[in-house]
A = this chain, B = another copy of it.
Amino acid sequence: MIVVMKAHASEAEIQAVVTAVEELDYRGHIIRGVERTVVACVGEERGEQHSLGHLVAFAGVEQVMPVLKSYKLASREVRPEGSIIDVGGVKIGGRKIAIMAGPCAVESAEQVESSADAVKAGGAHLLRGGAFKPRTSPYAFQGMESEGLSLLEHAGRRVGLPIVSEIMEAQDIELFVAHADMLQVGARNAQNFSLLRKLGRTKKPILLKRGMSTRIEEFLMAAEYILSEGNPNVVLCERGIRTFETATRNTLDLNAVPLLKQMTHLPVIVDPSHGTGLWTLVKPMALASIAAGADGLLIEVHPNPAVALSDGPQQLRPDHFAELVAAVKPVAEAVDRTM
């Protein structure tokens, strides 16, 4: 931690900072510059009692700058070779690209079975589908809930694909652990720390989506909540952030992909369906995601998007999904990955 003093900070103010710093078991080095004096604090910087952020409230202090990032277990440093997460036999994070696909929401047995056939035929490795749906409006379709999860499980087992579905609250953990292969935490719960902590006490693979306004470092801190409770099976998912741009539903931040791959050992996948909100952009952005280094894709596919109960505009038809997978293959090979 570096404490920068104001231009005219008094000697007493500087000493007060050093004293406060040393009371917290750091050593404080005073460096007198031409225009500013700074106090460099040496010691273990992470952890509750050692926070020095409050020093900004001291007289004579201009700013306090942290030197260390606050995530540890998610850091690339602890596992330079990268993590590979096993989801019902499908490996995510290795050389092979993993494709998760399926409808935004489970709407009926017929729709989910038809979706399962379509994504299996198209080349997906996991089947996704929403049983519990976080909808902006209380008047919109809220999902088929536990019945939807059963339908998804049935369809997945039938076609031989592990299933991924979104969990919205802690009370459903047991249900999801019993029936799903991977539990998705949605963008709106990306900083629901109570939920993250409890998911950290299971061993189930977690698909953690980035929040709409979550900075990269905060995203890793959210993962850290799960990891620090003992569950190492976390896959990160970039799904677009909220910006001033309104032509697309979100702004897909592909910078995040190579940046996260440098910062963390966790696998990183991309959801171009939410990241664009427009089905005509899904294929080019899926290709871009793989070229940027993503370990997989999450694609919304619906047997008939025009009658979908949610997110119709961004879901692909089965034939377009098959085209997408076919187009991903040569790009994956161009960046030394396989399908």
Interface residues of A (CB under 8 A from B): 2, 4, 7, 20, 29, 31-36, 38, 40, 42-48, 51, 53-58, 65, 67-68, 70-71, 77, 134-141, 168-171, 188-189, 191-195, 197, 211-213, 215-218, 221, 224-225, 228, 241-248, 251-259, 262, 275-276, 278-281, 284-285, 287-293, 305-309, 312-313, 315, 327, 330-331, 333-335
Contact = CB atoms under 8 A, between A and B. Distances in A.
A291 B290 contact: yes
Contacts of A188: 191-193
Nearest to A331: B334
B247 A65 contact: no
A79 to B, nearest CB: 14
B247 A243 contact: no
A284 to B, nearest CB: 4
B251 A243 contact: yes
A33 B211 CA distance: 33
A313 B247 contact: no
B251 A275 contact: no
B169 A194 contact: yes
Q: Which A-B residue pairs are the 6 nearest by beta carbons?
A: A54-B312, A213-B213, A330-B334, A291-B291, A288-B292, A258-B284
A136 B215 CA distance: 11
Copy tally for this chain in the complex stands at 4
A138 B171 contact: no
A213 B245 CA distance: 8
Contacts of A225: 138
A86 to B, nearest CB: 24
Given A33-B42, A284-B293, 15 more contacts: A2-B65, A34-B42, A38-B67, A53-B312, A56-B313, A136-B218, A137-B224, A189-B192, A213-B244, A241-B244, A242-B244, A243-B244, A258-B284, A287-B291, A288-B291
A35 B40 contact: no
A217 to B, nearest CB: 7
A136 B221 contact: yes
Contact of A31 (B42, B245, B278): B42
A243 B244 CA distance: 5
Contacts of A241: 243-245, 251
B306 A54 contact: yes
A212 B215 contact: no
A309 B35 CA distance: 23
